[in-house]
Each structure stands twice: as structure tokens, then as C-alpha cells.
Structure 1
Amino acid sequence: MGEVIGDVLPLAVGVAISPIPIIAVILMLLTPWARATGLGFLGGWTAGIAASGA
């Protein structure tokens, strides 16, 4: 199990700090419905990470 995490960890860090989600969050926070779009993005991001990790 630890070996698998060690293999996947660099890829996960690269995805986590990639500029596309950062740009998406900035653009969403500039909309009039920032709270709703931000919560939707957070929920989708969390679900996607959970699904790929499962």
C-alpha cells in the first residue's frame, strides 16, 4: 500500500497545484454568485478526488 502511495503522490501533487483549478476558482469568485459556484466547484473537486482515489 505504501509503495502505491509513493508512486502516485508526485502525480497527485502535480494535479493539486496545477494552474487550471486556480484560474477556475479566481474566475468563479469574481462572479455575482461566488458562494454558490465556489461550493459547487469544491463539491465536484472533492467528489472527483474521492472517486479517483477509490
Structure 2
Amino acid sequence: TAAATIGLHNQRIYAQTVINCLREAHHLRAHHPHWGLGLTAVRCRNRLEWANTHI
């Protein structure tokens, strides 16, 4: 945990500091589950073809 983590020069790292760093790096976001229809076989195949051509 952030409270138990020792940083450089034996200074404690506060939880809010860790949260701020993760937020700046875009690694801390609210998870919103997908609402709606899933991919059909045709749309899935089309997405795969598109992804393969844009690699």
C-alpha cells in the first residue's frame, strides 16, 4: 500500500500522491461496463480485417 511504501531517501509516499501519479499517467479511470449489443460474427470479422490492415 502507499502508506507502507518507502520512496527515495526513506520518505513515505502518501496515497494521494500515488493516485495523482496514476491519474496523470491515465492508468486510473472508472470502469464502465459495456451496455449494448455485443459484436455479431460479421461485425467481429470486419473489425478483425480492419485491425489487420491497419497494423
Provide the TM-score with structure 2 as the length reference. Answer: 0.25
More helix by share: 1
TM-score (norm 1): 0.25
